[in-house]
Each structure stands twice: as C-alpha cells, then as structure tokens.
Amino acid sequence: MADVASIAGVSKATVSRVLSGAPGVSAETRARISALAKELSYVVSPDASRLSRGATGRVAVVMPQTTTWYYGAVLCGILEVLQPEGLDTLVYQVAHDGESRRFFADLPAQRQVDAVIAVAFPVSDFERRQLDLLGVPVVVAGGSLLHHAYVRIDDVLAARQAVTHLIRAGHERIAMINSMVTDERPFAPPADRLRGYRSALDDAGLALDPELVIELPWSTTMGAQAMDRLLSLPRPPTAVFAFCDEIAVGALRSLRRAGIQVPRAMSVIGIDDHPLAELCDLTTVHQPVQMQGRRSAELALSLLGGAPVTEQHLTVPTHLVIRGTTAPAMSGED
C-alpha cells in the first residue's frame, strides 16, 4: 500500500480510504488510485485490514462430513450468499469423536471468524458450551440448538407427508428405516421423523409394529442391510419409509436382488429429493437443501450486521414428490 501511495503521490490514508470505499475522497483521486491499484493488481492484505478493524471477514462452516450430497448442497448455498458479500468461508470437517474433541477443545476457529454455521450435526453439551465460547453468532442449518438461530425443515411433518402418502395408498404394514443416533450426541431429525411416522400411523388408527422399525448406524449400505432384515421377517411390510433417499436407494437394491417387484409388491419412499432420487424414479419428500444453506448464511450475515434480527428460527417447507416406487397396496395381501 505504501508503494501505491508513493506512486500516486498521496498518503497511505487516502489509498486506504479509496480501497475500502470510505468517503472523504474526491471522485477524481478515487478513480486515479483505484485504477492504479488494479494496474498493479494490488489488493489490501485482509489480515492487516482485519487486525486493525476487528472483524475477520470470514465465517466458519462446521460439518460432520463433506462427501454426501446433503452437505455439499448446503455448502453450495452458503457460498452463494457469502462469496458475493466478500466473505470468505472456512470449512471444518469434524467427523469422528477424536476430531470433534480436538476441534472443540482447541477452538481453531476462535478469533478467526465472525460467525459459525453448523450444518446438521449432533452437538454434545460440551460442544455447545465451547461454541458459546467462540463469542460469535452461531447459526445451525438442518437442526436446532437451544437459543441459537437455525434453519431447518419440519422433520415431523416431512415424515408425516411420506407416511400419509403410503397410508392413503392403502398400506397398513409400513416399515421405517431410520438412522441411529446416540444419546450423548442428540440429533433431532431421526427422532423427529420417527415421531412423524408414529403420529401418521396413529392418525390412521394403525398399530405400530416395533419389528418394522429398523435403526442402524449410518453407512452407504445400511439401507440394503435394513431391507434384508425386513424381508426376512415372518410378516414383511408392504411399504417402507426410509430416513433419507440414500437409504431408500439401498433398500431398492436389496429388493431388486431379492427379485421383489417395486412398486407392485413393495412401495418405497424417502426424504430429500436427492438428485439420485429422480434417476431411480424414487418417490420422496422434497426438502430445499441448498436454500437452507442460503438462508443460514443470510441469517449469519444479518446477525453479523448487528441489525436486530426478527426471525431467528426459520422452517422451510417440504413437499411430496410422487414417482415410481410407490403404488397402492395389493389387495388381499393379509
């Protein structure tokens, strides 16, 4: 910056004002200096700038994984909002317990970012306390966390939309394949979706058969495993509601291998409207994932802006997408 100033024959202060868009510089000088800066392809050092001004211009995104579509899509939405604002995005992947301990104990994000967006992951008590310690606004996408701002879907409702669709098609033995979650790290979506499943059955006066609820720790093939288990039951279900589309697709594979016709002999529905759902012709409940990323970034922005944020808790809508994996129950099945 000193260079630019001396070449332009002005003081660093003026250059600073121009480059930071501060008022108090004649249009002529402003134009001349910004042109010069561009020519020299000079940009201010963010670090120095932030050191003196206080804010970092960065926001941290914390997610348990980066390889599944959901997290990629949320990240995409976040970047779409943050990048145009000139904010940089730091990604922290906090996967297994070891990483989690280190991350939350060392707080590498501290004094490093102006805000934190936590994307859909189970937060333990300890972790929550550490988050507060960061001393910056925290917004949660795809979940919720005490008093913090959040953006999410209504998981109970989404599950109800899925299960109700099956019930209307005449199904009575409806299984659920759910993602397992530990007590120590509570994670709302699986619990909420199970609740939605229950209440939909209730409303229809259908009994819940505990055998039909399979809970397994997440993995690529867990949908297939769960389906295998359901098929080995003395009285298998006629329809399956999966926690998410990836699981539903795994279930479809098992069914294909077992030679069971979908949807004639078995209906399958998921949640997400994963791109792959369209490819597999999977009936599902759509949730706007990228939008949740965008909204959470916008929330972070307004929290940053200091403006009193009126709506800190956003619930975005979901809707049923009927494709080819659900059909009326075969009559005379029982």
Partner DNA sequence: CTGTTAGCGCCTTCAT
Partner DNA sequence: ATGAAGGCGCTAACAG
Residues interacting with a second copy, by CB under 8 A?
Answer: 41, 43-48, 50-51, 56, 58, 65-69, 71-73, 75-76, 79-80, 83, 86, 88-93, 99, 106-108, 110-112, 133, 220-221, 224, 249-250, 252-253, 256, 275-276, 278-281, 290
Binding mask 18-37 vs DNA (x if CB under 7 A, - otherwise)? -xx-xxxxx-xxx-------
218 binds, among DNA, a second copy, none (CB under 5 to 8 A by kind): none
Other residues' Cβ atoms within 10 Å of the Cβ of residue 304: 18
3-state SS assignment for residue 240: strand
Residue 99's contacts (CB-CB under 8 Å, 6 or more residues apart) are 93
Closest-CA residue to 178 (of 133, 130, 240): 240
Alpha-carbon gap, residue 151 to 139, rounded angstroms: 8
Alpha-carbon gap, residue 318 to 322, rounded angstroms: 13
- For residue 86, the minimal CB distance to a second copy (Å) is 7
Nearer Cβ to DNA, position 29 or 290? 29
- For residue 312, the minimal CB distance to a second copy (Å) is 26
Q: Is 40 in the site for DNA (CB under 7 A)?
A: no
- For residue 319, the minimal CB distance to DNA (Å) is 46
Nearer Cβ to a second copy, position 112 or 144? 112
Find out whether 272 and 70 touch, Cβ atoms under 8 Å: yes
How many binding residues for DNA (CB under 7 A)? 27
Find out whether 152 and 142 touch, Cβ atoms under 8 Å: yes
Give the amino acid at 39. Answer: E
Which of 6, 38, 53, 182 binds DNA (CB under 7 A)? It is 53
* β-bridge mates for residue 93, sequence order: 63
Structure tokens at 56: 């970092």
21 binds, among a second copy, DNA, none (CB under 5 to 8 A by kind): none
Find out whether 78 and 70 touch, Cβ atoms under 8 Å: no
Closest-CA residue to 284 (of 246, 255, 241, 320): 320
152 binds, among DNA, a second copy, none (CB under 5 to 8 A by kind): none
Q: Which stretch binds DNA (CB under 7 A): 42-50, 99-107, 149-157, 324-332?
A: 42-50
Residues found near DNA in the complex (CB under 7 A): 1-2, 9-14, 16-17, 19-20, 22-26, 28-30, 44-45, 48-49, 51-53
